[in-house]
């Protein structure tokens, strides 16, 4: 715990999943529930902005050099090179910022990053895996987004089986076949964990 400098420590709620599973939709829904007292952990990334993304709201957009300097300076709680020269990570300062407000931290994060946070803070973290009903549905959702090239979609789909194989390592699994059910299930898990 010594690596994060704040006296007030809340809980950490991790949502991980293959791209297209619906984790971002679930996280956004939970953030709108004031009684949960959640704040979103903004990840840092070395990738380019997409569409209407805003720096310090969607991500902290860093150059590759800035990202690597922060790794060297041990400023990350966790980080990962998700695709070649595409780094993502959680800055320690981000957790400190949210805990200082007396809030719980919610993450929308890749599988390995989520598991790393769980390993570092086993008692304070609930790690929830969002599972699509099947791979075909995952492909359909990624294509429906209309945000990425066929090549990018293929890369994401190629990663999905390995990501899905990690589901048993998480505390809970939410199957997102029906969005309303998935939202209710996620709310129940988070609300119960916060009250513990």
Give percent of the chain above pLDDT 90: 72
Task: Kindly tell me if the per-residue pLDDT of 172 is higher than 50.
Answer: yes
Indicate the pTM of the whole model.
0.87
Dihedral of alpha carbons 168, 161, 46, 48, sign: negative
> Which pLDDT score is estimated for 92?
95
Residue-averaged pLDDT of the chain? 91
Task: Kindly tell me if the per-residue pLDDT of 192 is higher than 90.
Answer: yes
> Which pLDDT score is estimated for 3?
58
Task: Kindly tell me if the per-residue pLDDT of 125 is higher than 70.
Answer: yes
Asked whether residue 1 is assigned to any structural domain, the reply reads no
Asked whether residue 6 is assigned to any structural domain, the reply reads no
Per the structure, the count of domains in the chain is 1
Q: Backbone phi, then psi, for 49, in 5-degree steps?
A: -65, 145
Residue 8's pLDDT band, with cuts at 50, 70 and 90, is: low
For 15, the enclosing helix (H) or strand (E) is strand 12-16
Asked whether residue 171 is assigned to any structural domain, the reply reads yes
Q: What is the pLDDT of residues 43-86, one digit of tens each?
A: 999 999 988 999 999 899 999 999 999 999 999 999 989 778 89
What is the per-residue burial (b if ≥16 Cβ within 10 Å, else e) of 102-124? ebbbbbbbbbbbbbbbbeebeeb
Asked whether residue 147 is assigned to any structural domain, the reply reads yes
Count Cα neighbours of 85 within 13 Å in the Cβ-side half-sphere: 4
CATH number of the domain that residue 108 is part of: 3.40.50.300
Let me know if 63 is exposed, middle or buried by CB neighbors in 10 A (0-12, 13-18, 19+).
exposed
> Which pLDDT score is estimated for 1?
39
Show the domain range for 99: 12-195
Asked whether residue 4 is assigned to any structural domain, the reply reads no
């Amino acid at each position: 715990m010594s690596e994060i400098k704040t006296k007030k420590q809340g809980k950490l709620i991790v949502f991980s999943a293959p791209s297209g599973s619906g984790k971002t939709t679930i996280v956004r829904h939970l953030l709108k529930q004031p009684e949960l007292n959640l704040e979103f952990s903004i990840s840092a990334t070395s990738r380019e902005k997409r569409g209407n993304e805003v720096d310090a709201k969607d991500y902290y957009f860093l150059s590759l050099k800035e990202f690597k300097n922060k790794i060297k300076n041990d400023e990350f709680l966790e980080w990962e090179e998700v695709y070649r020269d595409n780094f993502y990570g959680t800055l320690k300062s981000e957790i400190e910022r949210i805990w200082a407000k007396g809030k719980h931290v919610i993450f929308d994060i890749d599988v390995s990053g989520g598991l790393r946070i769980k390993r570092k803070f086993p008692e304070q973290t609930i790690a929830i895996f969002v599972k699509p009903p099947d791979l075909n549905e995952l492909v359909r959702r990624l294509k429906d987004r209309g945000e990425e090239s066929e090549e990018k979609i293929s890369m994401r789909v190629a990663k999905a089986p390995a990501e899905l194989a990690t589901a048993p390592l998480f505390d809970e699994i939410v199957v997102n076949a029906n969005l309303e059910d998935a939202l209710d299930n996620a709310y129940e898990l988070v609300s119960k964990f916060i009250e513990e």
